[in-house]
Structure 1
Amino acid sequence: MKMSTLVVGAVAAPAIVTSVCLLSAAAAGATTEEAGASSVSKSADTSDPSTPPSSPGSDTDEPGAITASDDDADPLSDVDADLDADDDESGGAADFNADDDSGESIPAGEAAGSGDADADADQSGPESVPNSARRYASESLVTLDTVVDEEPEADTVDLALQQIAQARDELYSATWDSGLILAGLAAMLPQMYLSGATTSLERWEHDHARLQEEFAATVDNPFAHWIAGLRIENSIQRTIRVQRQLDAAEDWLPVVGWFGPRDAMAAIAELVDKAADNGLVYQILDLYMENVDGVRHVNPIMRMSVNGGEYVDVLLDTGSLGLVIDPQLIGLKNIGAPFDHGTGCYGDCSVEYAWDAYNIPVAVNGIESSPTPVLVVTLDTWYALSETNGAYDGILGIGANNPYPFPSNPLTALPGLLNQGVLIQERRRRAILGPNPYSARVTLDGAPIIRDLVVQVGDHDRWLVETWIDSGGIFGTVPKNVVGGDDSVPAGTPISVYTEDGETLLFAYTTTQANKPDVVPGGPVIMGFPPFQAASIYVDFRGSGKTIFNHA
């Protein structure tokens, strides 16, 4: 008995001491959270060691396509230097030229934003990068929503909180209530982590909508607006810390099992794992901005894994729907048989590819989705497609109301709230999955197709025309009637895009010799990268999608 007691004491002592020490550390961490410390994701240029070698090595400012777009924004603020403070100025009369008739035009208004392109910019992508699919969806909604964000859904967060509470109760029951004193002492640390996760999720549910309102209300007070932005960033980071807290609790549970309740700890670990999935609110993804034809920071590239394969670069494309991927870069384990076959093309459809559809998971930031349709291009057609691509291995289409090449967005298969949408902040070199973290300035039905917006090119009449907000559309296109029958858009031409009533400026920029839209005989206006360089844009995945221009 004495020998047994000594052995137990020798084993238990380190655990108890460790528990006390880490308990103190956890308490210290909680106080920093109370103080509002903010940890902000760095840009892809510095934080991702796997960023492609063609990524710009320096952000020394050179003239770019959009005013201030070459300046890396302050990582602690959500700034859009290209939008004027008076974006809500009146656009003029109430009648518009329609894209299918010749009604009376609105008097020309002032255009905002200008900039220059630099022909000697960093190494650029290939000559031709596929614009998003041009196949039109059968229908898109047309209404202008309010500028105040709706409160995000929190069903999975509520479920996560219930699961954490159940895990804490079962942990107490399996240790202290069962008379296992050493196990109870060892359980102090996972209990602390679970308690911290509960507090963080509850504070997000309680505070985040109010922080969004504060951010919207302080747009005219730069200092207060900056502070409000910091508080939103801290709220985002708080939800990300929940994952670390739950992972730490799950990792510690086997130690509690050393002192008796092994089976109970395994069951509790499974419950905590489910809570971690349901408690996912935000994930910050690094974006590498690829250069195209001498214009800097055009194509947004993110990293993801397909079916457990290596992480690869994919174009984040709001103008199409469905993931198209290089067949050599996916995991093959348990891939199964394809459930569908087809062909597709991008841009002018000069290159067609064949694909097989597999129901397999994808992963971002180490978070795996449930099985979801992925279009794996056949090896014999991938080479031709890759020749028209930039420096990426796939195209991730997230535009809900242009269901081409396949009506499925793999990001909607992610757990928790990550499947609601994504905030694209190209100037901050990041995208944020989850509900819209910032406050909406203007909410438009449809993504990428918005029917209709008012577009003015130079001194030509304003036109009410179907418009695509397409992150993969490069420099975009405009129909000939919008430019008065001209064959091209000269450098130095201001382009402004307004809401349907012509009252609210969404964004504006000035063309350069390198950055100007192509003129096409007809069809919609396709806005490529300029709106994403000028504004912080949230793309809602649900239904037919929403395109949301956030407050700067």
Structure 2
Amino acid sequence: MAVRRRQVIGVTATVGALVAVGAAPAANADFDDLFQPFIDALSAVDPGIAADTDPGSALASLDSLFDGWYQNLVSTPIHDLDQWLFGAADASAAGSAVASGSAATAADTFTVPLQVNAVTEPVVNVSVGGGADAPVLVDTGAAGLVMPIWDVPWTGITGLPTSFNFGQFGNSLDYFYVQLPTTVTFTDAAGDHVTADSSVDAVLFAFPANFSLSGPWSIQDYLGPANVVGVLGVGPNALGPTPDSIPTAALPGDLGKGLLIDQANNELIFGANPLTGGTSIDGAPWTTLDLSINGGTHQAVSAVVDSGGVYGTMPSSVLNGIQPEQNGGLPDGTTIAVYQHGTSNLLYEYTVHNSNGAFNSPIVTSGDSMNTGNIPFAQQPIYISYSPAGTGQTIFGGSNAIQP
């Protein structure tokens, strides 16, 4: 059977992360960062244009001339236009995190409903720029909010674009997007809401990565059974597309510390980890895990703990001669056990089903990295911590700190 995979792959064919094809500037970067590629191109002729490395050279005058032209004719007018259209940054402005009500400024925890579509797809609703709620996939294997530009209300854009770039899903779908500053709002079951000042990667167009006429031509086609309009990437050390602009990390106060994905109870909980006694590993989603196949010796493997990875992937290098089936999955009855690296602490285990219409197998791939898929999230709550900055932590399991 054909298996649709939602894990995302970078330009270096690394499994399990969504990555932009190029380095995007910071989400709050100046609009003139958009002109950096042109500056870089000119720097190939005149290194002084990018930086005054040799102000005494004959080219220094060209450097000064370009800088003056750029500031007077490009940078200053653009910034003036930005201020005229959107006003100065103000935490009290409507739609900002501070203006979102007491739930945004006082609460140290906030819970929103979560549902699981198509067995492996955790989904929550978000409102972008004050628009209608839209379902998005909660994806620990990616960073940043990606959705079609027609789902982003222009009235909710809070500034000028901060970057244009390419991204890719699963080595199957390429897309070109513009990063737009906006607000991202989550609503709980009681109707209260909390808002982050963040950005959205608004997709302008998409096309099959392998140019197959039968391939997906839009995010909706690619995401298929998930029944969502976009992807909410929440992984602090995911490869992209915009790890510097993760809406859940931009939530106000303690709410931005991390999030608990509790699929069994259909909840996504923002704030400090409400559970105790879990097993913590460094990195989220990228980390090192120990893997045992069919009870064999533990093998260290680079891994992506990926809630949006469907049933995941398994590198052929760890299979010790086990051959995949025609559908790319492992043989029926194969057992997989995953441990905290360097310890005997079991994180999760399961038996592969790959016969009689049942399927929960990782897809065998080349390379040396593994994607967990959604299996561990289906078995236990998993907390994604944004500390330490840039790498984060993943905490498997745990129990309520206060028992009723």
After TM superposition, the score normalised by the length of structure 2 is 0.67
Q: Which residue of 1 aligns with 2:283?
A: 446
1:545 aligned partner, one-letter code: G
Does 1:495 find its partner at 2:336? yes
Q: CA deviation at 1:368?
A: 4.3
Does the CA-based 8 Å contact 2:125-2:133 persist in structure 1?
Answer: yes
Superposed CA RMSD in Å reads 2.5
Please say if 1:343 is aligned against 2:170: no
Unaligned regions of 5+ residues in structure 2, if any? 15-97, 208-215, 325-329, 400-404
What letter is aligned with 1:512?
H
Q: Distance in 2 between matches of 1:536 and 1:378?
A: 35
Cα deviation for residue 127 of structure 1 reads 5.5
Residue 536 (1) aligns with residue 343 (2): no
Residue in structure 2 matched with residue 287 of structure 1 by the alignment:
114
SS at match of 1:333: helix
Return the offset for 1:547.
Answer: 0.1
SS at match of 1:418: helix
Aligned CA distance change for structure 1 residues 498 and 310 (closer, same or farther; 3 Å): same
Query: 2:113 touches 2:267 (CA, 8 Å); kept in 1?
Result: yes
Secondary structure of 2:160's aligned partner = coil
Q: Which position in structure 2 is the counterpart of 1:409? A: 246
> Is 1:384 aligned to 2:260, yes or no?
no
2:232 is equivalent to residue 396 of structure 1: yes
Of all paired residues, the percent bearing the same amino acid is 29
Write the distance in 1 (CA, Å) between the matches of 2:280 and 2:12.
Answer: 21
Structure 1 counterpart SS, 2:249: helix
Q: 1:531 to 1:134 in 2, by over 3 A?
A: farther
| Total equivalences in the alignment | 289
CA shift at 1:370, angstroms?
Answer: 4.1
Question: Which of the pair has the greater relative contact order for Cα pairs under 8 Å at 6+ separation?
Answer: 1
Shift of 1:380: 6.0
Match of 1:374 in 2: 200
Residues of 2 paired with 1:387 and 1:510: CA distance? 30
Amino acid at match of 1:438: L
**C-alpha displacement at 1:431, in angstroms?**
1.3
Question: What is the SS of the residue equivalent to 1:369?
Answer: strand
Residue deviations 1:16-61 (CA, integer Å, cap 9, x gap): xxxxxxxxxxxxxxxxxxxxxxxxxxxxxxxxxxxxxxxxxxxxxx
Establish whether residue 546 from structure 1 lines up as the match of residue 373 from structure 2. no
- Do residues 479 (structure 1) and 296 (structure 2) align? no
Measured in 2, the distance between the counterparts of 1:446 and 1:135 equals 21
Task: Work out which of the two has the higher radius of gyration on C-alpha atoms and give 1 or 2.
Answer: 1
Scaled by the length of structure 1, what TM-score is found? 0.49
The match for 1:308 among 130, 133, 138 is: 130
**Which structure features the higher share of strand residues?**
2
Note closer, same or farther for the CA distance 1:368–1:285 as it changes in structure 2 (3 Å cut).
closer
Native 8 Å contact 1:308 1:330 kept in 2: no
Deviation at 1:531, TM superposition (A): 0.6
| 2:145 matches 1:319 | no
Distance in 2 separating the partners of 1:134 and 1:307 = 29
Paired residues of 2:177 and 2:205 also in contact (CA < 8 A): no
User: Where does residue 98 of structure 1 map in the other structure?
Assistant: none
Gaps of 5+ in 1: 1-118, 120-125, 139-270, 292-296
Query: Match of 2:153, as an amino acid?
Result: G
Contact kept, 8 Å, 1:537 with 1:550, in 2: the verdict is yes
Change (3 A) 1:311 1:127: farther
Is the 8 Å Cα contact of residues 104 and 194 (structure 2) preserved in structure 1?
Answer: no
The answer on whether the counterparts of 2:148 and 2:229 sit within 8 Å (CA) in structure 1 is yes
Q: Distance in 2 between matches of 1:444 and 1:306?
A: 32
Instruction: Give the counterpart of 1:131 among 7, 23, 27.
Output: 7
**What letter matches 1:461 in structure 2?**
T
Could you tell me how far 1:410 is from its partner in structure 2? 1.0
- 2:171 pairs with 1:330: no
| Offset of residue 541 of structure 1 | 2.2
User: Following the alignment from structure 1 to structure 2, what is the Cα–Cα distance between the partners of residues 511 and 463?
Assistant: 19
Show CA shifts across 1:360-407 (max 9, x none).
110001534343121000156595232111310010111111231112
Verify the 8 A CA contact 2:173 2:217 in the aligned structure 1: no
Higher helix share: 1
Say which SS state the counterpart of residue 353 (structure 1) adopts: strand
Q: Distance in 1 between matches of 2:173 and 2:13?
A: 21
Superposition pairs of residues 239-278 of structure 1, within 5 angstroms = 276-278=103-105
Displacement of 1:316: 0.1
**What secondary structure is seen at the aligned counterpart in 2 of 1:352?**
strand
Q: Check the 8 A contact 2:277/2:398 in 1, yes or no.
A: yes
> Secondary structure of the residue that 2:275 maps to in structure 1?
coil
Picking from 437, 449, 466, the partner of 2:274 is: 437
**Cα offset for 1:462?**
2.2
Aligned amino acid, residue 309 of structure 1 = G
